Amino acid sequence: MSTGQTQRETVAKSTQLTWVAYDPDKDVERTATNIAPQGSVSVRRHAALVSAAARKATIAKNNSIMHQRQQRRRRKPPSSEQQESNRVPKARAKAAKAGVLGRSRIGLLEIAFDKVSSSDLATYVSSLLRSPPIGLQQPSMSLKAIRTQLLDAFTNSSTLFQAALFMSGTHSNTCGLPPSALHADMGTGMILLRGATMDAIQTAVVAENGSGTTSVAIALLAAWERRYGDRQSYEIHVRAWQTMSLCPGALEVNSIATLADLTLEGFREGLNERSTTTTSSLLPESRIGARRYPASLPPGFMVFSADRPEAMSLLHLVAQDATHVPGAVDAPARMRKVCVENMAWGASHSISCETMPAHEDSWDQAELNALYHVRAACISINGVILQATLDAHGMELGMDLAAGLAIHTESCKHLRSEALMGTKYQEVAIWARFIMCAISREPSTDRLLRSFLQLQGVRSWNQLGLLLERHLYPVPLLEMMSHKLYNQLNSGQIDQLVHR
C-alpha cells in the first residue's frame, strides 16, 4: 500500500469519526468584522450544518468503529503504557519518601491519577452519578469524592483541562459588567474555548485515546449544552458518550445536569478554600498592620483590604503565579489549577457560582473595579506562564493561545480604568492594562496607556519596570514584550504624543 493511499485513508478515518462540524476560523473572522452575535448563532447551530441523514450515518459509523476497538482492547493484554500508568501511584509514593518526585511519562496516555486511574475515570464518574440523584448541598461522601476526583483529573489531562477551562468561563464577568451588556449570545471567548474543547476531544478520539478522560470530557460538554447551550448539541454529545468503551450505560438526564453543577460547584469550593488558607502561608500582622496577605504576594497588591473572601482568593491566586517555577515536576498540574480557578473567579463566589448583582453592590466599588483589573491581567499572564510550563515539559496546549488572549484583551476595553486614576488603585490599573497590551497588542488603547503613564510620572523604562515589578511580573517571560510596548508608546517624548 502506498504512503499517499495510507494518508488518504487516515484523513477519511478522522472525518468519519467527527460527530461535530465546527470551523473556529470562521467564527474568529465573524468576530473581527463585529458580527459576534451571528457568529455565536453559527457555532451554537454547528450541528445543523450537516444534514440529519449524514449525521445519523456518522454516528452509526462511530458506533461500529468504537465497538470494533472495544473488542480489540478486550482481547489485547495491557500495553506497556497502561502498565506504567498502574505503577505511577506506587512510584510517586516511593519518590515522595525520598524527597524526589519523578516526572510522569507524557504522551497519548495522560499522567495517571493518584486516586483513580484514567482508564477507570468514566466508570467512576458514571457510578457516582447514577441513582439516587444527589443535591449539591447534601453532605455526601460521593458528592465530595466526585468533586475531588474531577478537579484532580482536570489538572492532569489535556483533554479534560480544555473542557474545564471552557466550563470555568460559564459565569465569567471579566470587566465587572453583566454578559448581557456585552453580547446578545455566547461571548467570543467562550466560542473559541468551546471550539478548542471540541478539537481536543476529536484529536483524542482519532488518536484512539477515547477512553476514560475523553468520554468524561464529552459528558461535560453534554452537561454544559443541556443547561446553557442547545438541545441538538446536547443530544449529539450524549450519543458520542454512549459510544465510549468504558461507559456502563448512558447517563440519565438528571445525572448529566448534576455533572455540570458538580463541576461549577467544585470550582467555587476551590476558590473558597483559597480564601480560608491557613495562617502559615500569610505574612505576619506586624508587617502590614491588621491585614493578612499571602506571604509571596507582590507588595503592589497590598493596597487591597482583603476583608472579603473573594478578594483573598484572588490575591492567593496572584501569589501562586508569583512563585511558579515552570520547570518544577508538578508545574503543569499546578498551573492548570490556577488557570481554571482564575477563570472561574467571581466577586460573588462565597455565596454562588453565578454573578450576584446585589452582593457586588455592597462592595467598595473602587476595590471591586481594581480586582476585576487584577483578574483580567492574570488571565493573560497565566496564558504566558502556562505555555512556558508546558514547553518546559514537552507538552502541548491544544488551542490557539495567541488568538484567545487577543480576544480577551480586546474585551477588556470595557474595564473602567479611568475611574481608578487618582485612587490608591492607580498603579494596579496601569499595571493591568499595560501588561495585557504587552502580551496581546491592542493599538486602540495606545492613547489611553500614554495618558496613564504621564499621569503616573513615568519618564523612563526603568521607572516603568519598577512599577511592574511591584506587581505580578515574571521578568524572563514578560520583560522583552513589555519593553517593546514601552518603546512603541514612547517613541522619544510621551508628552508630545499625548498632546497630538
Quick: pLDDT tens for 410-454. 989 889 999 999 999 999 999 999 999 999 999 999 999 999 999
**Given pLDDT bands bounded at 50, 70 and 90, which one contains residue 120?**
low
443 vs 21: which has the higher pLDDT: 443
**Given pLDDT bands bounded at 50, 70 and 90, which one contains residue 240?**
confident
Predicted confidence (pLDDT) at residue 334 exceeds the cutoff of 60 = yes
Q: Is the pTM of this model over 0.85?
A: no
**Given pLDDT bands bounded at 50, 70 and 90, which one contains residue 180?**
low
Alpha carbon dihedral 158, 162, 164, 170, in 10-degree steps, equals 170
Cβ neighbours around 181 below 10 Å, total? 9
Query: Rounded to 5 degrees, what are φ and ψ at 64?
Result: -65, -45
Cβ neighbours around 403 below 10 Å, total? 17
Do residues 474 and 385 lie in contact, with contact meaning Cβ atoms separated by under 8 Å?
yes
Q: What percent of the chain has pLDDT over 70?
A: 61
Mean pLDDT highest for which of 84-88, 131-135, 276-280, 336-340? 336-340
Length reported for the chain: 500
pLDDT at 438: 98
**Side chain identity at residue 111, one-letter code:** I
Query: Rounded to 5 degrees, what are φ and ψ at 135?
Result: -85, 150
Q: Residue 83, CB half-sphere, CA atoms under 13 Å: how many?
A: 5
304 vs 173: which has the higher pLDDT: 304
Q: Measured between alpha carbons, how far is residue 250 from residues 122, 239, 405 in Å?
A: 11, 9, 37
Q: What's the rounded mean pLDDT across residues 376-405? A: 95
433 vs 255: which has the higher pLDDT: 433
**Is 178 exposed, middle or buried (CB count within 10 Å of its CB: 0-12, 13-18, 19+)?**
exposed
Q: What's the rounded mean pLDDT across residues 269-288? A: 65
pLDDT at 368: 95
**Alpha carbons 286 and 300: distance in angstroms, whole number:** 18
Domains of the chain, by residue range, sit at 10-71+107-268, 281-498
Separation of CA 177 from chain center: 20
Find, among 228, 160, 239, the residue nearest to 197 by Cα.
160
**Given pLDDT bands bounded at 50, 70 and 90, which one contains residue 214?**
confident
Q: What's the rounded mean pLDDT across residues 351-377? A: 93
Beta strand spans in 87-195 (E): none
Cβ neighbours around 179 below 10 Å, total? 17
Q: What is the mean pLDDT of the chain?
A: 74
Do residues 259 and 220 lie in contact, with contact meaning Cβ atoms separated by under 8 Å?
yes
Give the three-state DSSP class for 463: helix
Cβ neighbours around 203 below 10 Å, total? 18
pLDDT at 174: 72
| DSSP letter string, 258-297 | HHHHHHHHHHHHHHHHHHT--GGGB--GGGSTT---BTT-
pLDDT at 183: 56
pLDDT at 311: 96
207 vs 383: which has the higher pLDDT: 383
Q: What's the rounded mean pLDDT across residues 81-94? A: 38
